[in-house]
């Protein structure tokens, strides 16, 4: 695409000035408010392994990863990085680095192997008790996510998973069990991680489990035209049901807080034209507004109602009451930024999917000039100012809610030589840039309370398998999953232990 007359100074100027101000000294904890939480994060299927141990039942990611052609390197999470059996080793690593908190996810099928909520798996409960108690013994706060994409396979088979309204009741039962078992010690709950991804990637593009889409060369079942909106609707209702249970049964005694984690790239209008600005706003509403507008305003964005029409479900009055205000904080996962321009391509009203409905064109570079330096993944360009803009957008739209950055990080190619992988200077620059952007957003009034680096260890990166490395701890897959801290781990440890605040 030919580069139009874009004023790049307006994009980069303020952020560049901020970087110059910080370059004369090292970033430290004094750049953030007192009691700001620094944590690291993983998810169950990506790190636990032990797929056939401890009474765990199969999940849709077990099924998907074992289906030939679905994962790039043909591998799966059966063993992953074996955190299930190396729990104390990983906790000790976290403690030695100085982390305040660890965000992990609970495997639904480790608690209810059949997903139905009939019989609790005591071994699963005991595993997470060991994890939680081990963290607390080292002064690390547990942040527990109850759903990070690994739906029990039985629920997919019996009711159609997130496509069924019955999933709300099943998730509520599962959440209730987690609150009862762990809530005396877990004070920060996240109902689910990135519903945008399991709605669209799982039921629109088919790139993630359960792999449903309209493309019959990829999936024998699915309808990309309608299913992502149904899945998202049921996910929101399941979130609200879990929060309602927590608030009514547990919050007064346990004293915790509960929220949801959503994801989105910042959409930067390519030009100052009204069309491009409106396109960027649509893009943000179709990513983040899709899930947060119902929680704050009781309905989906008006733009989505207009573009999606009858494919977008409606909430009842009772559901609106449950949804509104059903979050104590927002978890925000952010990685990258794209330029956005208005699309004049006519939509096929009978076949359009969630992306078509946005009526935008997105891209990372124009006229050969990238929006930022690229990490390993084709979608991950390093654009720290995009995170600041996104935080400001969320703060302004939703009346300055409490925010935690629940994921932020970058990947390396899994095939890089060991010396290059361990000396991950680009990752250090990534964290310096994005943390500086968070600090600037806080100074401008955004209520960010914490930041979680993704990821603690290299792990199973979903459809990319083990071809990408997001960890600050290297995992030697050829040598008994040995843990080796990268240069970024040392950088983080210095930051975490800085006492200037």
Query: How far from 168 is each of 200, 239, 298, 415, 424, CA to CA, in Å?
Result: 19, 8, 18, 42, 43
The gap between the terminal CA atoms of the chain, to the nearest Å, is 47
DSSP assignment of 307-356? HHGGGS----HHHHHHHTT--SSEEEE---EEEEEE--PPP-TTT--HHH
The answer for residues whose C-beta is within 8 angstroms of residue 297's C-beta and 6 or more apart is 324
Burial zone of 278 (CB within 10 Å; 0-12 exposed, 13-18 middle, 19+ buried):
middle
Asked, as a colleague might, if the bond just before 367 is cis with ω within 30 of 0, I would say: no
**Cβ atoms of residues 391 and 332 within 8 Å:** yes
Catalytic residue (choose from 265, 407, 440, 461): 407
Clarify whether 278 is annotated catalytic. Answer: no
Q: How many Cα atoms occupy the beta-carbon half-sphere of 486 within 13 Å?
A: 27
Tokens 């992502």 correspond to 228
Clarify whether 53 is annotated catalytic. Answer: no
Q: How many Cα atoms occupy the beta-carbon half-sphere of 63 within 13 Å?
A: 20
Q: Which residues carry out catalysis?
A: 194, 407
């Amino acid at each position: 695409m030919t580069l139009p007359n874009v004023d790049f100074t307006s994009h980069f100027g303020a952020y560049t000035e901020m970087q110059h101000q910080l370059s004369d000294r090292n970033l430290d904890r004094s750049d953030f408010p007192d009691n700001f939480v620094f944590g690291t994060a993983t998810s169950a299927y990506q790190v636990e392994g032990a797929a056939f141990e401890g009474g765990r039942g199969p999940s849709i990611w077990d099924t998907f990863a074992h289906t030939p052609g679905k994962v790039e390197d043909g591998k799966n999470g059966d063993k992953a990085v074996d955190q299930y059996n190396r729990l104390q080793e990983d906790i000790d690593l976290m403690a030695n680095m100085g982390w305040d908190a660890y965000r992990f996810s609970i495997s639904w099928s480790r608690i209810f192997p059949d997903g139905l909520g009939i019989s609790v798996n005591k071994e699963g409960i005991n595993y997470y008790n060991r994890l939680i108690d081990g963290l607390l013994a080292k002064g690390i706060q547990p942040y527990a996510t109850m759903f990070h994409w690994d739906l029990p396979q039985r629920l997919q088979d019996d009711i159609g998973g997130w496509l069924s309204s019955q999933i709300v009741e099943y998730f509520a039962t599962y959440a209730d069990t987690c609150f009862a078992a762990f809530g005396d010690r877990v004070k920060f709950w996240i109902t689910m991680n990135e519903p945008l991804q399991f709605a669209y990637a799982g039921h629109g593009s088919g790139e993630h489990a359960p792999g449903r889409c309209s493309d019959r060369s990829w999936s024998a079942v699915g309808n990309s035209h309608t299913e992502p909106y149904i899945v998202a609707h049921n996910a929101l209702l399941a979130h609200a049901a879990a929060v309602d249970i927590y608030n009514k049964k547990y919050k007064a005694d346990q004293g915790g807080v509960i929220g949801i984690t959503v994801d989105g790239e910042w959409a930067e209008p390519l030009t100052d034209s009204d069309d491009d600005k409106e396109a960027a706003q649509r893009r943000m509403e179709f990513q983040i507004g899709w899930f947060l507008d119902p929680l704050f305003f009781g309905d989906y964005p008006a733009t989505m109602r207009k573009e999606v029409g009858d494919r977008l479900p409606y909430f009842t009055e009772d559901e609106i009451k449950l949804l509104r205000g059903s979050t104590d904080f927002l978890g925000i996962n952010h990685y990258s930024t794209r330029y956005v321009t208005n699309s004049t391509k006519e939509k096929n009203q009978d076949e359009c999917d969630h992306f078509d409905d946005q009526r935008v064109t997105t891209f990372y570079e124009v006229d050969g000039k990238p929006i930022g330096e690229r990490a390993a993944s084709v979608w991950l360009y390093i654009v720290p100012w995009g995170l600041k803009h996104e935080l400001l957008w969320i703060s302004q739209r939703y009346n300055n809610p409490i925010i935690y950055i629940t994921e932020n990080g970058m990947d390396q190619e899994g095939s890089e030589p060991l010396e290059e992988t361990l000396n991950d200077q680009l990752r250090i620059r990534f964290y310096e840039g994005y943390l500086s952007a968070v600090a600037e957003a806080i100074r401008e009034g955004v209520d960010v309370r914490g930041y979680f680096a993704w990821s603690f260890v290299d792990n199973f990166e979903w459809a990319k398998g083990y071809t990408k490395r997001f960890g600050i701890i290297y995992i030697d897959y050829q040598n008994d999953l040995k843990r080796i801290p990268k240069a970024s781990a040392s950088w983080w440890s210095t930051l975490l232990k800085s006492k200037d605040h």
